[in-house]
Chains A and B, each alone.
Chain A
């Protein structure tokens, strides 16, 4: 059975990211009434050490903060504060990472603790390393600021640990924003908007360069310590994404998925609706990402990609692809060639 954590249930230590967001809002002169509205969190000097906050409450706090400060740099400034975070062993493992590869592996392994709102996935092929971000808790309305926040967090952490700015290239699944200056300064000038996924890419040669402050030994020990602590579960969309990626060739259906998640199909549907999504949307997203990977990494043509994903013929696949992305595979392939 696949374990996951509902966005409405308390799972994030209040003293970690939520406290950090609240402090930032207060430091920028936002009132507690505006920051805490509808979060169900109480104002006060500081939460108790063992107090847990539901991801939905944390998301509401973030939305309030963004609205109250009404400044395009909020997500980027919060991103700079986000990592390594204060999650004990997992955060310590990040700081001690001897290389970029170790850092990204650690980040993805402990994503439910380190980045509970977005789930990073790290892959490499053809000399390119890619880190892309999946919604963990179902927050479509906050997708853009969340992506800005998490990309800034990783870029800033790498810059700090590596001692230099890495030549990341950034792809965004959105149109170019008005506040592109924030992206240019906080992320870098290699930006591409209107892509099909939110990803950051870097030449794979950077993955194994030793970092000045890292220590392989301390990193391994911290990972062990983190593994010994009770596991924190991913959000439903993140767990479902991982599940679907593994089974994408077998045309996964809602009924079997519900069975594997240990709930009835009706419950799974209701839970997905609570996370502001539905099964078909999640499946389409996974298929889009896998198709992009087939085009780019495996250099497959439409026919082969259609076969891989279990379509009867290329025409059918083309039509579906158009429905998922708004583009047919041809133009997207050209755009990808430029982006990657």
Chain B
């Protein structure tokens, strides 16, 4: 609210100041000669324009567009106000200053139009900027779009952190058996659904401190901090049993889903560890 106090005072002063030349130079009209319709019309326009001007100043940061919009509305306000003063005081038709003041209305409209034109440009620029930020944000988000799980890059970063930490930590890889056949026979949309179903089932059966990632394709990775390899193996067997117990359907047909797994202690360089574990998964396939 503080920001509009100054313009509010300015506007009030300008409106009050405009009364002075008319009161000084003009001859007051008798009350009976007042045209109420014109007074409401012109005075109302002036007051509304003042309100619009204040709204623009209060809601936009300062800048060219703001100044043009507010300036245009201020001009319309002053022009209309001068027009309104005509109704109270009779002014000589040749008085230049009166005509000039009334000419503020079309001038204000021109300025306002220019402001709207630049506002449109500004808006297009902003939209563009937002879109880019959004894309940047999405592309840098370490999450997979199909399953909403963390991706391999995030997993490697976490493994790197774990390698420096103390205490045991296990890495489990899980592959869906015959996933390529689901893709071929039912299409990739069904393949995506199967991935989502398996991801949900895995998430429901993990501890809060475990990290589930979609490594790539049909391969999931689980980082299990605090677990020795044999404990992790036991947990992985449980995960496989839970997925094997699912009743997944593609349309009307039941698609059996099975997992195979392998695990290793999460130690050493992530790239080498993952390459070795992937090699073991391939050998078992």
Contact B279 A70 (CB under 8 A): no
Give the contact stretch, choosing among A132-140, A174-182, A307-315: A174-182
Contact B181 A185 (CB under 8 A): no
Instruction: Output the residue of A73, A165, A185 with the most chain B CB within 10 A.
Output: A185
Which residue of the partner chain A has the closest CB to B281? A189
Which residue of the partner chain B has the closest CB to A27? B189
Partner of A160, one of B180, B188, B285: B180
Contact B217 A185 (CB under 8 A): yes
The verdict on B145 contacting chain A, using a C-beta distance below 8 Å, is yes
Contact A160 B181 (CB under 8 A): yes
For the side of the interface on A, what is the size category? 20 to 34
Q: Cβ of A181: which chain B residues have Cβ within 8 Å of it?
A: 152, 215-216, 219, 274
Contact A80 B180 (CB under 8 A): yes
The 3 A-B pairs of least Cβ separation, nearest first, read: A181-B152, A185-B217, A189-B279
Instruction: For residue A78, give the distance in angstroms from its CB to the closest CB of chain B.
Output: 10
The verdict on B218 contacting chain A, using a C-beta distance below 8 Å, is yes
Residues of B in contact with A (beta carbons under 8 Å apart): 135, 138-139, 145, 152-153, 180-181, 183-184, 188-189, 215-219, 271, 274-275, 278-279, 281-282, 285
The verdict on A317 contacting chain B, using a C-beta distance below 8 Å, is no
The verdict on A186 contacting chain B, using a C-beta distance below 8 Å, is yes
Instruction: For residue B275, give the distance in angstroms from its CB to the closest CB of chain A.
Output: 6
Q: Cβ of A72: which chain B residues have Cβ within 8 Å of it?
A: 216
Q: Cβ of B189: which chain A residues have Cβ within 8 Å of it?
A: 27
The verdict on A19 contacting chain B, using a C-beta distance below 8 Å, is no
Instruction: For residue B151, give the distance in angstroms from its CB to the closest CB of chain A.
Output: 8
Contact A178 B180 (CB under 8 A): no
The verdict on A77 contacting chain B, using a C-beta distance below 8 Å, is yes
- A148 to B279 alpha-carbon distance, docked (Å): 19
Contact B180 A159 (CB under 8 A): yes
Q: Cβ of B219: which chain A residues have Cβ within 8 Å of it?
A: 181, 184-185
- A292 to B184 alpha-carbon distance, docked (Å): 37
The verdict on A170 contacting chain B, using a C-beta distance below 8 Å, is no
Contacts A/B (CB < 8 Å), 20 sampled = A24-B188, A27-B188, A27-B189, A28-B145, A70-B138, A72-B216, A73-B216, A76-B216, A80-B180, A160-B181, A165-B282, A165-B285, A179-B216, A180-B275, A181-B215, A182-B216, A184-B219, A184-B275, A186-B216, A189-B275
20 A-B pairs besides A184-B216, A188-B282 with CB distance below 8 A are A24-B188, A27-B189, A70-B138, A72-B216, A80-B184, A160-B180, A160-B181, A160-B184, A165-B285, A180-B271, A181-B152, A184-B219, A184-B274, A184-B278, A185-B217, A185-B278, A189-B275, A189-B278, A189-B282, A190-B279
The verdict on A238 contacting chain B, using a C-beta distance below 8 Å, is no
Residues of A in contact with B (beta carbons under 8 Å apart): 24, 27-28, 70-73, 76-77, 80-81, 156, 159-160, 165, 178-182, 184-186, 188-190
- A189 to B135 alpha-carbon distance, docked (Å): 32
Q: Cβ of A77: which chain B residues have Cβ within 8 Å of it?
A: 188
- A181 to B219 alpha-carbon distance, docked (Å): 9
Contact B188 A185 (CB under 8 A): no
Partner of B139, one of A70, A81, A156, A188: A70
Q: Cβ of B152: which chain A residues have Cβ within 8 Å of it?
A: 179, 181
Q: Cβ of B275: which chain A residues have Cβ within 8 Å of it?
A: 180, 184, 189
- A70 to B152 alpha-carbon distance, docked (Å): 15
- A156 to B183 alpha-carbon distance, docked (Å): 11
Q: Cβ of B279: which chain A residues have Cβ within 8 Å of it?
A: 189-190
- A77 to B180 alpha-carbon distance, docked (Å): 11
Q: Cβ of B282: which chain A residues have Cβ within 8 Å of it?
A: 165, 188-190
Q: A165-B285, A184-B278, A188-B282 are in contact. Are A80 and B216 (CB under 8 A)?
A: no
Instruction: For residue B30, give the distance in angstroms from its CB to the closest CB of chain A.
Output: 68
Instruction: For residue A106, give the distance in angstroms from its CB to the closest CB of chain B.
Output: 19
Instruction: Output the residue of A27, A72, A76, A180 with the most chain B CB within 10 A.
Output: A180
Which residue of the partner chain B has the closest CB to A159? B180
Instruction: For residue B48, give the distance in angstroms from its CB to the closest CB of chain A.
Output: 41
Instruction: For residue B193, give the distance in angstroms from its CB to the closest CB of chain A.
Output: 12
Which residue of the partner chain A has the closest CB to B145? A71
Instruction: Output the residue of B135, B152, B153, B275 with the most chain A CB within 10 A.
Output: B152
Q: Cβ of B138: which chain A residues have Cβ within 8 Å of it?
A: 70
